[in-house]
A and B are shown apart, each in its own frame.
Chain A
Amino acid sequence: MKLRIKFKKYGPVRFIGHLDVMRYFQKALRRADIDVAYSTGFSPHQIMSFAAPLGVGLESNGEYMDIQVNSLPDPGEGLTSCQILVQRLNAVGVQGLEAVSARILPENAGNAMASVAAASYTVRFREGKEPGPLEIALETFLSQKEIWITKETKKGSRQVDLRPGIYELSWDGDAFHMLVDASSAGNIRPGQVIQALLDANGKKAEENALFITREDLFTETAGPEGAGERISLGRIGCEDPQREEGR
Chain B
Amino acid sequence: MSDKLALSDEILLNIEKPERYIGHEYNAVMKDRDKVGIRFCMCFPDIYEIGMSHLGLQILYDMFNAMPDVWCERVFSPWVDLDAVLRREKIPLFALESQDPVKMFDFLGITIQYEMCYTNILQVLDLSGIPLKARERGEDCPIVIGGGPCTYNPEPLADFFDLFYIGEGETQYKKLLDLYRECREQGIGRKGFLRRAAAEVPGMYVPGFYRAEYHPDGTLKSFSPTEEGIPATVRKEIVTDLSQARYPTKPIVPFIRVTQDRVVLEIQRGCIRGCRFCQAGQLYRPVRERDVETLKQYALELLQNTGQEEITLSSLSSSDYSRLPELISFLMEECSRRHTNISLPSLRIDAFSLDVMSKVQDVKKSSLTFAPEAGSQRLRNVINKGLTEEVILNGAAQAFQGGWIRVKLYFMLGLPTETEEDIRGIAELSNKIAAVFFETVPKEKRVNGRVQIVASTSFFVPKPFTPFQWAAQCTKEEFLHKAYLTRTAISEQLNQKSIKYNWHEADASVLEGVLARGDRRLGQVILRVYEKGGIFDAWSEYYDNSRWMDALEECGLTADFYTHRERPVEELLPWDFIDCGVSKGFLKREWEKAKREQTSENCRQKCNTCGAAVFGCGICVIPRTEKTPDDQAADTGR
Contact = CB atoms under 8 A, between A and B. Distances in A.
Size category of the binding interface on chain A: 20 to 34
A44 B309 CA distance: 9
B10 A56 contact: no
A38 B309 CA distance: 12
Nearest to A13: B24
Interface string B1-28: 1010100011011100011001111100
Given A16-B255, A20-B256, A94-B25, A126 B308 contact: no
A41 B4 CA distance: 43
Interface stretch (B217-225, B299-307, B395-403, B429-437): B299-307
Interface stretch (A21-29, A146-154, A170-178): A21-29
A93 to B, nearest CB: 7
A12 B304 CA distance: 25
Contact of B339 (A23, A38, A207): A38
Given A11-B3, A20-B255, A56-B18, A94 B10 contact: no
A13 B254 CA distance: 12
Interface string A71-100: 000000000000000000000111110000
B19 A126 contact: no
A26 B309 contact: yes
Contacts of B23: 12
B589 interface: no
Nearest to B15: A15
Contacts, number: 78
Interface in A1-48: 11-13, 15-17, 20, 23-24, 26-31, 38, 42-46
B24 A95 contact: yes
Contacts of A45: 309
B26 A15 contact: no
Interface string B248-261: 00000101110000
Interface in B318-373: 338-339, 341, 360-362
A208 B13 contact: yes
B24 A12 contact: yes
Contacts of B5: 12
Given A23-B257, A94-B24, A208-B10, A17 B19 contact: yes
Contacts of A15: 12-13, 18-19, 22
A129 to B, nearest CB: 9
Contacts of B18: 15, 56
Nearest to B7: A15
A57 interface: yes
Interface in A91-126: 92-96, 126
B24 A27 contact: no
Could you say which of A23, A29, A56 has the most chain B C-beta atoms within 10 Å of its C-beta? A23
A126 B8 CA distance: 11
A158 to B, nearest CB: 25
Contacts of A27: 26, 253, 306-309
Contacts of B10: 207-208
B9 A208 contact: yes
Nearest to A95: B1
Nearest to A19: B257
Contacts of A17: 19, 256
17 contacts: A11-B3, A11-B24, A13-B22, A13-B255, A15-B18, A15-B22, A16-B19, A17-B19, A20-B256, A23-B255, A27-B309, A42-B360, A46-B339, A56-B13, A57-B12, A95-B1, A208-B14
